[in-house]
Amino acid sequence: MEPISSLQNPLIKLIQKLDKNRERRKQNLIPVEGLRECRLAADGGFNIEKVLYCSEYISELSLRTELNLSSKSLCINISPNVFDTLVYRKGIANCLALINPKDYRFSDIDTSKNLLILIIDSVEKPGNLGAMLRTCDAAGVDAIIVCDPQTDVYNPNCIRASLGATFTKKVIVTTAEDCINWLKKNSINTFVTYLESAQNYTLEDFTKLTAIVVGSEAYGIKDIWLNSGFKNIIIPQFGKVDSMNVANSAGIVIYEVIRQRNLSRD
């Protein structure tokens, strides 16, 4: 079969529309670029409907082997010009898959275990969200809860920044109010990163079931969190800038949790 060579092809036009969150929700499809990212999605149990590739960059056999695709997954060959129009990384062995998203819920989190949970509230930038998901994967964080997001977990820039970690962890999207109610109902030790009325994060005990809350890049932690009775923690700063990047802040506290838990096992 001849490869798709027209940008006016209905499938190509659909994929271009998937840049918009509204269209992704409508179609229940997310575009995922990259062999590594698609392999992680497949390993994470995400359903891959179609995979677009260019036979001048990679063969269908190699693609199916790399991704361990089932015979049900449709592989579609497209011309170099069309393929390079759709992808960020051009002219290399690459692929672009259409994948069905997952809808995780609080019931997917086993609160009987000594988990570490990161709560990301009102994050705005997909690059920051992706970076935090990548850190969560590296540190073995058990679950991520994204509250009132201003960007989509399945935004292509978020997936790219996460290196595919979007698909390796349970990511729940909910409201701050519902999340707070769930935390209290399950008596989860919750620590809110905040600049005022806070204790140095290294002085807290993170060895038990723990949730860490970080706020938005522009506005920080919302009042609903500050009025919920959780503990506030602060990362000491010694420069003239009054705040740190949210992804960096999350990483610092997450690895303090890991440090304490490793020490408690010695």
Cβ neighbors of 248 (< 8 A, separation 6 or more) are: none
Residue with more model confidence, 88 or 219: 88
- The answer to whether residue 150 scores a pLDDT higher than 80 is yes
Cβ neighbors of 252 (< 8 A, separation 6 or more) are: 201, 235, 244
Section 158-162 average pLDDT: 96
40-46 long-range CB contacts below 8 Å, 24 or more apart?
40/164, 40/165, 40/167, 40/168, 41/97, 41/99, 41/164, 41/167, 42/67, 42/68, 42/69, 43/68, 43/167, 43/168, 44/167, 44/168, 45/102, 46/99, 46/100, 46/101, 46/102, 46/167
- The answer to whether residue 93 scores a pLDDT higher than 80 is yes
- For the chain, what percent of residues have pLDDT higher than 90? 86
- The answer to whether residue 171 scores a pLDDT higher than 80 is yes
pTM: 0.92
Q: What CATH architecture is 106-265?
A: 3-Layer(aba) Sandwich (3.40)
pLDDT category of residue 98 using cuts at 50, 70 and 90? very high
- The answer to whether residue 10 scores a pLDDT higher than 80 is yes
- Confidence at residue 228, expressed as pLDDT on a 0 to 100 scale: 95
Mean pLDDT of the chain: 93
Q: Is 208 exposed, middle or buried (0-12, 13-18, 19+ CB in 10 A)?
A: exposed
- Residue span(s) of the chain under CATH 3.40.1280.10 come to 106-265
Section 29-52 average pLDDT: 95
- Confidence at residue 265, expressed as pLDDT on a 0 to 100 scale: 67
- The answer to whether residue 266 scores a pLDDT higher than 60 is no
- Residue span(s) of the chain under CATH 3.30.1330.30 come to 10-99
Query: Could you tell me which CATH class the domain 10-99 is placed in?
Result: alpha beta
- The answer to whether residue 205 scores a pLDDT higher than 70 is yes
The pLDDT tens digits for 51-87 are: 999 999 999 999 999 998 877 779 999 999 999 999 9
pLDDT category of residue 140 using cuts at 50, 70 and 90? very high
